[in-house]
């Protein structure tokens, strides 16, 4: 095989001189689709290897690798398109996924000679790799590894044992961490070596896994000679190389995983329908959770990769996604096994097993997902100590957090950073806990300052005096205001403005864009805004009826009423002056908001939409309202996270900082996973075109995720603070109150999940 640099970059050169990559890939995929599918596992394996060579020859392999390394060097959007295309064509994945852990290490830290020698055979699947990290006495605790490498002239002599080594029985090479420094526990003196598996002294002993297969093995090294040229980086730098070289490829690999997971989730959804569980309310909740999980993985990855491609640190998103993915795989297969009903009593190889036993087999294999490559508990340690900056549970001090807890892990783009900074500056100097508790916040002055910035009309059309910004930036602004518990009716006003704009009521929207406080007077049940007979009636512009529990009504300068025509029963949207109605202030759970009952007895208003136009406007406005309340909940959750981490990092108990206790640090890690996942889902849903079929589904799932996450995170915040978190003067209860109120006033998360699940399952009729 030719392995020089000319061969390595030949695919990229071909791509530069021929048709655009999409056209070439589409042509290759079209040819692939006409081929007969292999019938045996061996034939499928051979086909997967052959497919990799086709991609390399066409310059269409490794979309995220730099061109200089033989990849395509695509940006984020192009990589997404690439994986969409290959996933839709159901092309085989690379038969050795471990290759894509060593590859970025070589790209970043390897010599040119190493890159020339190893990258192309790896990419073509001509050579397979396995990972030699875990040992019998150093599984997740890699710093305790004891396999030794002793320098002897121009070689290292390696002696020791690795275990749980996936694909060791068929790998050509192993990338291994070995100890070249003094024996004992520690991260210094660890070196990264590339070892040929056919070297004298290497012995592989397969291990049988719980599913009955032989996917991993023990590997023994008995005085194995490894050339010094096979060392990656400097001697003793192996630990930092292992930890720092994966950012770009991890983010890219997560994007690929999104499409692989999407396919598997769809298979589970089809199974649910086929097994008669389409209308099972419990199954529907699990279905919505799966759909949320796969989207969380995708949105986390997209924001991380976007930062990487801007040459910025992706933060701790990769660490979070590693944990999310492993637990998602278990939930996925757990639900699938549940859906097989009595079939779950059969082994995976039984003649009567559902779907050939794949779900039983998959469930058993998924138990390893929270063990391999570091257990879920170790991942939580990493998130708590490396990402959040909490003290080491081993007494090894503490590091600076990747970013300030509560702030976006992946660096936002410049426009989002500017919006966040501006809103934070407006609210921070005007809102304090003590002022909120005693009603001393000058809400009028705060509202005017937010209006001066451009809220609530930040995303309204410029032609109407709005900011013309994207819904994503509006959500970022709402999040920042909520993070600081701004006691103003921003979300109710945004929802009302969205309803007016969606109904085409531009004249009525103008004063709201200019800064008038507003609210939507509409009955609400667990599923959201009610359009049934409980709504007020309207006859010739005159309203009659009562709407209870209207959030923001006592502070509103304009009320937008959802009513029904007394004559035709058609839905109508009516704008009134609050002074013409009777607004009775009610005692709110959320001390940063206002709630009131609106009595309409012969109140005359301006009917701005009726019938189909009103219904369409209400549907679109509910989507925006869901995103706005979700963004508010994200802000609340992240403030609770920041407070909990701060307290856990300074409070002492039993002679130790409480954040060094794993019970506390793992709680904080879970809070981060919830809060960051909710943020990324909300922003991704806000980026979608409102006219797309996907937009409402994404908004429902994002809102359900954010509403539930905010309650769980704020409850955890109180728990981490202990007794002080339960006192009136501490802001923890203010956050919990706001999170609970958010769950109640727009739509219950369980109901949003049920609706979303119905939409998802309908695709598998």
**How do residues 26-63 score in pLDDT, each as one tens digit?**
999 999 999 998 888 889 999 999 999 999 999 999 99
In this predicted model, which residue has the larger pLDDT, 331 or 3?
Answer: 331
Phi, psi (rounded to 5 degrees) for 551: -70, 130
Q: Three-state secondary structure along 106-137?
A: HHHHCCHHHHHHHHHHHHHCCCCEEEECCECC
CA of 414: how far to CAs of 402, 421, 459, in Å?
A: 19, 11, 17
**pLDDT confidence band for 548 (50 / 70 / 90):** very high
> What is the mean predicted confidence (pLDDT) over 399-416?
90
Q: Among 558, 556, 551, 557, which residue's Cα sits nearest to residue 588?
A: 551
Quote the tokens at residue 431. 């809102």
pLDDT value at residue 6: 32
Confidence of residue 746 (pLDDT cuts 50, 70, 90): confident
In the predicted model, what is the mean pLDDT of residues 726-742? Answer: 96
CB of 399 within 8 A of CB of 385? yes
Q: Rounded to an integer, what distance in angstroms lies between the CA atom of residue 124 and that of residue 660?
A: 45
Instruction: Give phi and psi for 135, each to the nearest 5.
Output: -135, 165
Query: Helix %, strand %, coil % for the chain, to 5?
Result: 55, 15, 30
Using CA atoms, how far apart are residues 631 and 481, in angstroms rounded to an integer? Answer: 10
pLDDT (tens digit per residue) in 698-714: 999 999 999 999 999 99
* 635 within 8 A of 423, measured Cβ to Cβ: no
282 vs 3 pLDDT, higher one = 282
Q: For residue 515, how many other CB atoms are within 10 A of its CB?
A: 18
pLDDT confidence of residue 84: 84
Calpha distance 87→68 (Å, rounded) = 26
Q: CA dihedral in degrees (152, 101, 359, 215; nearest 10)? A: -20
Contact 157, 147 (CB under 8 A): no
| Banded model confidence at residue 4, pLDDT cuts 50, 70, 90 | very low
Query: Confidence class of residue 140 from pLDDT cuts 50, 70 and 90?
Result: low
Q: What is the pLDDT of residue 254?
A: 56
- Return mean pLDDT, the chain: 90
Confidence of residue 307 (pLDDT cuts 50, 70, 90): low
* Number of other residues whose CB lies within 10 A of the CB of residue 526: 12
Q: Residue 765, SS3? A: coil
Reported as a pLDDT band with limits 50, 70 and 90, residue 756 is very high
Contact, 522 vs 564, CB < 8 A?
A: no
Report whether 526 contacts 502 (CB < 8 A). Answer: no
Mean pLDDT of 117-132: 95
Q: Is the pLDDT of residue 250 over 60?
A: no
At residue 318's C-alpha, the angle toward residues 317 and 320, to 5°, is 65
Known catalytic residues are: 249
The pLDDT value given to residue 5: 34
pLDDT value for 100:
86
Confidence band of 256 (pLDDT split at 50, 70, 90): low
C-alpha atoms less than 13 angstroms from C-alpha of 168 in its C-beta half-sphere: 27
C-alpha dihedral, 394 to 396 to 402 to 408, nearest 10°: 30
Over residues 461-475, the pLDDT tens digits come to: 999 999 999 999 999
For residue range 491-546, list pLDDT tens digits in order.
999 999 999 999 999 999 999 999 999 999 999 999 999 988 889 999 999 999 99
419 has pLDDT over 80:
yes
DSSP state of 138: B
CA distance 696 to 619: 9
Report pLDDT for 252: 54
Instruction: Quickly count: other Cβ atoms within 10 Å of residue 601's Cβ.
Output: 12
Tens of pLDDT, residues 653-709: 999 999 999 999 999 999 999 999 999 999 999 999 888 889 999 999 999 999 999
**Structure confidence by residue, pLDDT tens digits, 60-111:** 999 988 999 999 998 877 888 898 899 888 899 899 988 888 998 999 899 9
Peptide bond into 7 cis (omega under 30): no
Poorest-pLDDT segment among 70-74, 235-239, 242-246, 317-321: 242-246
Residue 253 pLDDT greater than 60, yes or no: no
**Per-residue confidence (pLDDT) for residue 13, from 0 to 100:** 37
Q: Is the pLDDT of residue 285 over 70?
A: yes
Task: Characterize the bridge pairing of strands 558-565 and 537-539.
Answer: parallel
Please give the C-alpha separations between residue 364 and each of 130, 334, 652, in angstroms, as whole numbers.
22, 9, 41
Residues in the chain, overall count: 765
Of residues 711 and 308, more confidently modeled:
711
Identify the band that residue 194 occupies on the pLDDT scale cut at 50, 70 and 90: very high
Say which residues have a Cβ less than 8 Å from residue 14's Cβ, sequence separation at least 6.
Answer: 57, 58, 59
CA gap 675, 642 in Å, rounded: 11
CB atoms within 10 A of CB 112: 9
């Amino acid at each position: 095989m030719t392995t020089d640099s000319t061969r390595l970059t030949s695919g990229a050169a071909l791509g530069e001189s021929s048709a655009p990559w999409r056209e070439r890939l589409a042509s290759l995929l079209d040819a692939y689709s006409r081929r007969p599918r292999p019938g045996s596992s061996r034939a499928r394996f051979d086909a997967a290897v052959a497919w990799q060579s086709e991609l390399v020859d066409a310059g269409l392999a490794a979309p995220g690798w730099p061109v200089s390394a033989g990849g395509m060097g695509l940006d984020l959007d192009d990589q997404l398109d690439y994986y969409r295309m290959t996933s839709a064509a159901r092309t085989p994945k690379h038969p050795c996924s471990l290759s894509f852990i060593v590859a970025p290490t070589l790209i970043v830290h390897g010599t040119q000679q190493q890159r020339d020698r190893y990258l192309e055979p790896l990419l073509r699947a001509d050579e397979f790799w396995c990972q030699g990290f875990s040992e019998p006495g150093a599984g997740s605790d890699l710093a305790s590894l004891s396999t030794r490498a002793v320098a002897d002239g121009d070689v290292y002599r390696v002696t020791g044992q690795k275990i749980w080594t996936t694909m060791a029985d068929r790998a050509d090479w192993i990338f291994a961490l070995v100890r070249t420094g003094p024996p004992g526990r520690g991260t210094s003196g660890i070196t990264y070596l590339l070892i040929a598996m056919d070297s004298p002294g290497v012995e592989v002993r397969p291990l049988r896994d719980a599913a009955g297969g032989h996917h991993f093995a023990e590997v023994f090294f008995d005085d194995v000679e490894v050339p010094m040229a096979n060392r990656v980086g400097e001697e003793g730098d192996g630990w930092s190389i292992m930890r720092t070289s994966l950012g770009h490829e991890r983010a890219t690999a997560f994007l690929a995983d999104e499409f692989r997971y999407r396919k598997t989730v769809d298979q589970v959804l089809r199974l649910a329908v086929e097994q008669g569980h389409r209308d099972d309310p419990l199954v529907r909740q699990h279905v919505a959770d799966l759909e949320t999980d796969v989207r969380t993985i995708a949105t986390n990855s997209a924001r991380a990769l976007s930062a990487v491609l801007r040459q910025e640190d992706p933060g701790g998103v990769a660490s979070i996604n590693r944990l999310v993915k492993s637990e998602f795989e278990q939930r996925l297969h757990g639900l699938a096994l549940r859906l097989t009903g009595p079939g779950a009593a059969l082994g995976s190889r039984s003649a009567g097993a559902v779907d050939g036993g794949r779900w039983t087999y998959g469930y058993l294999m998924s138990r390893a997902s929270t063990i391999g490559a570091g257990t879920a508990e170790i991942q939580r340690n990493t998130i708590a100590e490396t990402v959040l900056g909490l003290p080491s549970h081993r007494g090894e001090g503490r590091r600076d957090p990747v970013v300030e807890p509560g702030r976006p892990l992946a660096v936002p783009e410049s426009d989002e950073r500017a919006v966040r900074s501006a809103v934070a500056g407006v609210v921070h100097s005007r809102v304090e806990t003590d002022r909120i508790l005693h009603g001393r916040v000058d809400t009028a002055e705060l509202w005017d300052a937010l209006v001066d910035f451009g809220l609530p009309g930040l995303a309204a059309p410029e032609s109407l005096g709005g900011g013309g910004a994207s819904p994503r930036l509006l959500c970022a602004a709402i999040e920042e205001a909520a993070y600081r518990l701004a006691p103003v009716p921003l979300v109710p006003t945004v929802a009302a403005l969205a309803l007016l704009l969606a109904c085409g009521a531009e004249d009525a929207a103008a004063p709201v864009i200019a800064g008038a406080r507003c609210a939507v007077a509409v009955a609400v049940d667990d599923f959201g805004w009610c359009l049934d007979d409980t709504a007020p009636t309207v006859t010739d512009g005159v309203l009659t009826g009562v709407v209870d529990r209207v959030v923001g009504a006592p502070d509103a300068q304009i009320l937008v009423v959802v009513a029904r025509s007394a004559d035709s029963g058609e839905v109508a949207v009516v704008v009134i002056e609050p002074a013409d109605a009777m607004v009775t202030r009610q005692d709110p759970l959320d001390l940063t908001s206002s709630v009131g009952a609106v009595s309409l007895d012969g109140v005359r208003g301006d009917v701005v939409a009726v019938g189909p136009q009103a219904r369409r406007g209400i549907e679109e406005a509910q989507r925006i309202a869901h995103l706005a309340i979700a963004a508010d909940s994200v802000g609340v959750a992240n403030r609770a996270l920041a407070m909990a981490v701060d307290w856990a990092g300074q409070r002492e108990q039993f002679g130790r900082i409480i954040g060094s206790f794993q019970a506390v640090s793992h709680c904080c890690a879970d809070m981060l996973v919830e809060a960051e996942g909710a943020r990324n889902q909300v922003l991704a849903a806000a980026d979608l075109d409102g006219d797309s079929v996907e937009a409402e589904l994404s908004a429902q799932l994002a809102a359900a995720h954010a509403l539930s996450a905010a309650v769980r995170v704020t409850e955890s915040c109180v728990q981490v603070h202990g007794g002080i978190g339960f006192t009136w003067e501490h802001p923890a209860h203010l956050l919990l109150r706001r999170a609970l109120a958010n769950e109640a006033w727009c739509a219950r998360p369980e109901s949003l999940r049920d609706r979303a699940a119905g939409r998802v399952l309908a695709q598998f009729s």
